[in-house]
Structure 1
Amino acid sequence: MAKLTLITFLTLDGVMQAPGGPEEDPSGGFEYGGWQAPVMDEGLTRFVTEVFDRSAAFLLGRRTYDIFAGYWPGVTDPGNPIASRLNRYPKYVVSTTLETAEWEHTTVISTDVAAEVARIKERTHGGELQIYGSGVLARSLMAQGLIDEYHLLVHPVVLGRGRRLFTDGGPPTAFEVTDSRTTPNGIAINTYRPTGRAAFGSVPDGT
């Protein structure tokens, strides 16, 4: 059975929208696409490569799938650690509007998403089932307790607007930190594992 892991690039104020470029996702009038580029460094690249090395299959929302499918099939270098896996490994795209997927080894999931994801986890062996970005999908799976591990890559920039991973109405959840590092340009990479419902209490006043 595969572990379902989420890998997401975030700003300090939690924005996950369009890290890769101005045209990546301008929905909602978002004007700050490409905020990741100025701080990318070898530490970020190294970590992402490590994560891809553990992949066995990929689970993507429609928007992220379209972004990936518009670029990675054209990268044919077998030595590329990302393209070689994205192009060869099973991919599952969750969409109610996409009927067929042209990217090789892609399956469209349109109904009963939580149950189908649970089945994919069960039958995937030898690595992780990984989600990249895909905020709507990620929030849905979070609410149903299906994500086993979170890799949050927090970049040293504040935008003040944009789509966020964690929004109002999500389930109160406690986490433990299983890994933490900082890249040369200040990207904080933290890995979290959910441990159950968040607990609450009173902080001692020090007297």
Structure 2
Amino acid sequence: MRKLFSYVIISLDGYYEGPNGEFDWPNIDSEYFEFANQTDAYIDTLLFGRVGYEHMAAHWPDATGPHPEVVQFMNSVTKVVVSGTLREVEWHNTTIVDGDRLNETITELKRQPGKEMALFGSVRLTASLLELGLIDELRVLVNPIILGAGRSLFSTLRNRVALDLWRTTTFRSGNVLLTYRPRQ
């Protein structure tokens, strides 16, 4: 069965967005992009909730910059949007799956052959999949900034989820990647 991991970026005080929905604070540099490229080599499917998909689809199709390999990866990899309301998508290589059958849909995707599946952002979907026991790893990139207010990473979580710290990765920028696995 394929591994599904969720990858989220947060501030030191646990927010994934600032108080006005801003996401202009992540501390991303060339060391981070090198790490991301190494990670991307193991991924063949990106999973998004509707909101996360809409943010990504608004940025990546026309993105340019100093890291074209990341742009190429984001635009070429298979993308799956879990939604009960979205009816059509325009971002290349994207399909919509029924959000009303979340457990069955994700279990079937994990059973398909392939590399790892990554859930980028999409914190509500991450919380739902953690509660269903479908996330194999939770990767949280903690940025060295305190926002003071914003949207908490797990504000939609309804049940406790026990985790074991599996790995930490530190970056020269001050970022720390915490990799957790759900406790069995």
- Distance between the aligned counterparts of 1:107 and 1:99, measured in 2? 10
Percent identity, please: 31
TM-score normalised by the chain length of structure 1: 0.79
- Please tell me whether the aligned partners of residues 2 and 128 of structure 1 are also in contact (alpha carbons under 8 angstroms): yes
Cα offset, 1:10, TM superposition: 0.6
Aligned-CA RMSD value: 2.2
Q: Does 1:116 pair with 2:105?
A: yes
Q: Which protein has greater RCO, CA pairs closer than 8 Å, 6+ apart? A: 2
1:40 aligns with 28
Q: Which runs of no fewer than 5 residues in structure 2 stay unpaired? A: none
1:199 aligns with none
- Please tell me whether the aligned partners of residues 49 and 82 of structure 2 are also in contact (alpha carbons under 8 angstroms): yes
Greater Rg over alpha carbons, structure: 1
2:159 aligns with 171
Question: What do residues 31-76 of structure 1 show as CA deviations (whole Å, max 9, x unaligned)?
Answer: 653111xx32233222222221211101001122112212222358
Q: Does 1:68 pair with 2:76?
A: no
Structure 1 residue aligned with 2:85, among 97, 121, 128? 97
- Please tell me whether the aligned partners of residues 176 and 195 of structure 1 are also in contact (alpha carbons under 8 angstroms): yes
TM-score normalised by the chain length of structure 2: 0.87
1:13 aligns with 13
- The 3-state SS of whatever aligns with 2:15 is coil
- Please tell me whether the aligned partners of residues 139 and 166 of structure 1 are also in contact (alpha carbons under 8 angstroms): yes
Question: What do residues 64-111 of structure 1 show as CA deviations (whole Å, max 9, x unaligned)?
Answer: 21122122223589x833233332222111222210111122111233
- Please tell me whether the aligned partners of residues 131 and 161 of structure 2 are also in contact (alpha carbons under 8 angstroms): no
- Distance between the aligned counterparts of 1:166 and 1:67, measured in 2? 19
- The 3-state SS of whatever aligns with 2:69 is coil
Question: What do residues 114-171 of structure 1 show as CA deviations (whole Å, max 9, x unaligned)?
Answer: 210110111141x111000101111111111110011110011111222222237543
Q: Does 1:81 pair with 2:69?
A: yes
Q: Which runs of no fewer than 5 residues in structure 1 stay unpaired? A: 19-28, 197-207
